[in-house]
Structure 1
Amino acid sequence: MTLYGTPLSGHAHRVEAFLNILGLPYRYVEANAEVRRSESFLALNPFGQIPVLVDGDLVLPDSVAILVYLADRYDGSGLWNPKVPEEAAQVQRWLSIAAGDLRFGPALARILTLWGGAGSLTDAQRVAERVLRFMDSHLDGRYWLAAVRPTIADIACYAYVARAPEGRIPLDPYPAVRRWLERVEAIPALPPMPQSAIPQTA
């Protein structure tokens, strides 16, 4: 099994973390911008994006799709991507939030702050604050996002929330979110999301 990613990509971190949690052996290939423009990489993902997982004959881009695949293929307990309809629906809801508001909020704010690019930092911070307020309210009295135990929803949402301060979004106003981050980081074998070498400004 081979994972293509970069250390500071929250999308790639989701997959790396879950592979470690499941105890699956894999080869990590760092796919920087130059690699992602290469013909060999574009043959794996024509969009030139990371992560990409190669498992035998399967070539699978997209972090959320990879999490679902790994859970269904390799998690014998069936708990990380539950099939009980109520829990399954909650997992899907949070996977959608991870691909939506978290991507266009904390993730985009971090990108714009650290590396620049197209987009409005103010708008991204506004989206981030909205989703963090919602998460904080949701987690008040709950340990995990979608079930009574951790699921792939928690893995999908972790990285960009943990590094929200790198997008000038402080986490001090969100005590339930901070407690949740501590619980996620205590999951055995889960590596914390690396910090950028660029000083945080939040």
Structure 2
Amino acid sequence: MNAIKLYHFPTSGHSHRAQLMLSLLGLESEIHLVDLANGAQKSAEFLALNAFGQVPVIDDNGTIVADSTAILVYLAKTYDASGKWLPADADGAAQVQRWLSVASGQINNGPARARLITVFGAGFDPRDTIDRAHAVLRVMDTHLTGRQFLAANHATIADVAAYSYIAHAPEGNVSLEGYPNVRAWLARIEGLEGFVPMPATKAGLVV
């Protein structure tokens, strides 16, 4: 089988989700850099893969999947024989879906957006965005009391979806100091076999 092509930008947390999942599953990948800074995502070639002009996209031997959470679902359903990364039972699947929605909603509108301001110069309101980031971090820290992972007693794609922007929240001037359960959860993700980090930037808080 050929390597799975990953259309990727190194400091995109959305891209990192896909890269991390591929590595955690031990899948061979072929990285194709999409130069967002120079508008490569708007090229006709890339828009043929994802009409929204966003990374990541994977090409699994002709099966094209765009959107980071969709990619996580696809990879888990296709390559995880254990069924742990995406439980098949109704309750387990629902618990994972809840946190996929949080990753696309509250995390995207909080920690991810705060980082867009400092790293990429996005024009969002920093105070409002940082407040949103701390709101979701408070919920996560409470939820992780007595838990090791977000949706089950083991890592799932919910943890992969949430990890990247929470881990890099300080780059958006969002301190993780007051969230010990979140920090312990991040360390557990980083301790998983196959973990690969997302490159850090020099933006935001000194940590």
The aligned residue for residue 85 of structure 2 is: 80
Matches within 5 A, 1:46-195: 46-195=51-200
Q: Which shows bigger deviation, 68-77 or 31-40?
A: 31-40
Q: Is there any run of 5+ residues in structure 1 with no aligned partner, and where?
A: none
Amino acid at match of 1:18: M
Question: What's the counterpart of residue 9 of structure 2?
Answer: 6
- Matches of 2:184 and 2:83 in 1, distance apart? 25
- 1:194 Cα deviation after fit: 1.8
Q: Is the 1:162–1:193 Cα contact (8 Å) retained in structure 2?
A: no
1:30 aligned onto 2:33? yes
Q: Deviations over 1:91-142 (max 9, x none)?
A: 0000000000000100000010122123211111111000000000000110
Q: What SS does structure 1 have at the residue aligned with 2:48?
A: helix
Q: Which runs of 4+ in 1 moved over 3 A?
A: 197-202
- CA change 1:159–1:91 in 2 (3 A) is same
SS in structure 1 of the partner of residue 151 of structure 2? coil
Amino acid at match of 1:3: L
Question: Is the 8 Å Cα contact of residues 17 and 155 (structure 1) preserved in structure 2?
Answer: yes
C-alpha root-mean-square deviation of aligned residues, in Å? 1.2
Give ranges in structure 2 of 5+ residues lacking alignment: none
Asked whether the 8 Å contact 2:170–2:204 carries over to 1, the reply is no
Hey, what's the Cα distance between the residues in 2 that align with 1:182 and 1:63? 22
- Relative to structure 2, which stretch is displaced further, 192-201 or 132-141? 192-201
SS at match of 1:44: coil
Q: Which amino acid aligns with 1:99?
A: S
CA shift, 1:158, in A, is 0.2
- What is the TM-score when the length of structure 2 is the normalising length? 0.94
Residue 57 of structure 1 deviates from its aligned partner by 2.0
Hey, what's the Cα distance between the residues in 1 that align with 2:69 and 2:156? 12
Matched length: 202
Q: Could you tell me how far apart the structure 2 residues matched to 1:201 and 1:112 are?
A: 16
2:206 & 2:181 partners in 1: Cα distance?
A: 22
Mapped contact 1:113–1:121 kept (Cα < 8 A): no
**Superposed displacement of residue 163, structure 1:** 0.4
Distance (whole Å) between structure 2 residues aligned to residue 119 and residue 160 of structure 1: 17
Structure 2 equivalent of residue 17 of structure 1: 20
